[in-house]
Amino acid sequence: MARKKLLLNVALWAGLYVLWVVLFQNHTLTISKTITVEFCYLVFIAATYYLQVYFSIPKFLYRKKYVLFGLILLGSIAAAAMLRVPLAMYLNKHFFLVNKPQPAFSQLFLNSFINIFVWVVCLVAANIIIDKIRFQKYIDTIEKEKAKNELDFLKAQFNPHFLFNSINSIYGHIDKKNPVARKMLLTFSEMLRYQLYECNVEKISIEKEITYLKNYVALQQARKEESLIVKLDINENIKGITLAPLLYIAFVENAFKYVSNSDTRDNRVEILFTRYGNELHFRAFNTKEANIRTEIGQGGIGISNVKRRLELLYPAKHDLKINNTDDTYEVILNLQLQ
């Protein structure tokens, strides 16, 4: 991309140079002299132009510091004209006007200033117009994407209504003599509602997050073996905390997914929330089978997603540790609350 931009700039200046040579060639100067004169102008015009494009315009014009921009524009043009005068005097004395009356310094400066001013202002104006067109196209693209996202959101709002209606229909067809299944479906409905309607915020109360996790644990306990020991330890001192939603569910899911199913030892899942001063402490622990160490160590999309969210939401304010042994898996996450 940078190379393409460089080649485009070179081509534009070369084309402009050829145009100047053709337009300003006259009978008083040979073609070689015309080429030399226009090249000298090109150097000073290009230098002044790029100073505006890469410094003055972004630093002052686009920040609405118009007076400073105008002063730098005129000052840089005057400096370029001043630098060109000695070069013009040298060329006149040794090449163009040998043994002839030499133009005065003031005349050369005025001619140089006018020429550089006209071309730099025209080129800068063209650059600003092009930038404005590009920016407007960018805004139009953003607006279209915004409209599309709003439509997608509205479509997403329709689908959950259909889903909840279906859940209610299923609930009505479950035999009342099967309270476990009915309760599981209601719990699932509450979890789904939380994910769809309450998690579209930057931060949520930890009480709601804990309720969601408790519902998930209840569902897992209902479908796992009775030999599974689940310990859910929620300390009272975490009340009132707000945090990003759905930070912990991937770790809890992982614990139940890979928990051991042994007949010779305890199969355990332990989940802990507590607070130490300004730090929220979370621990998820599970026993596991030795032959799945590599698989669980890789984590998966859910764990990778949480790690990335932590990097974005809590940069330098979180400490995540994962301890993976032959028969246990442990996640410890500490969050700084402020």
Q: Any bridge partners for residue 281, and if so which?
A: 274, 334
Return the structure tokens found at 32.
């070689």
The confidence score (pLDDT) of residue 107 equals 87
Residues 76, 90: Cα–Cα separation, whole Å:
22
The reply to whether 104 and 190 lie within a common domain is no
In a domain, 53, yes or no: yes
Residue 213 dihedral angles phi and psi, to the nearest 5°: -65, -40
Residues 202, 270: Cα–Cα separation, whole Å:
28
In a domain, 156, yes or no: no
Return the structure tokens found at 152.
């997608």
**Which domain does 180 fall in, by range?**
174-336
In a domain, 165, yes or no: no
The reply to whether 48 and 118 lie within a common domain is yes
Residues 9, 28: Cα–Cα separation, whole Å:
31
In a domain, 196, yes or no: yes
Residues 317, 300: Cα–Cα separation, whole Å:
23
**C-alpha distances in Å from residue 87, one per residue of 37, 43, 60, 61, 80:** 10, 12, 31, 32, 11
Instruction: Give, for all 338 residues of the chain, the pLDDT tens digit.
Output: 567 666 776 677 666 666 655 665 554 444 444 444 555 677 888 889 999 988 999 999 988 899 999 999 999 999 988 988 888 787 777 776 777 787 888 888 898 899 889 888 988 999 899 989 988 998 888 888 887 777 666 655 555 666 677 777 777 778 788 888 888 888 888 888 888 888 888 899 999 999 999 999 988 888 777 788 999 999 999 999 999 999 999 999 999 999 988 887 889 999 999 999 999 999 999 999 877 654 555 555 678 888 988 998 898 899 999 999 989 999 999 999 87
Return the structure tokens found at 208.
């709601």
The reply to whether 205 and 60 lie within a common domain is no
Strand (E) or helix (H) holding 308: helix 301-313
In a domain, 11, yes or no: yes
In a domain, 322, yes or no: yes
The reply to whether 191 and 238 lie within a common domain is yes
**C-alpha distances in Å from residue 268, one per residue of 118, 218, 221, 299, 329:** 81, 15, 11, 19, 11
The reply to whether 140 and 224 lie within a common domain is no
Matching residue, tokens 């071309």: 119
Residues 213, 321: Cα–Cα separation, whole Å:
20
The confidence score (pLDDT) of residue 175 equals 79
Residue 223 dihedral angles phi and psi, to the nearest 5°: -100, -15
Residue 266, amino acid: D
In a domain, 151, yes or no: no
The reply to whether 7 and 121 lie within a common domain is yes
- Distance of alpha carbon 50 from the chain centroid: 28
**Closest C-alpha to 252, from 217, 204, 227:** 217
The confidence score (pLDDT) of residue 31 equals 41
Number of domains, the chain: 2
The reply to whether 92 and 180 lie within a common domain is no
pTM: 0.53
In a domain, 30, yes or no: yes
The reply to whether 183 and 315 lie within a common domain is yes
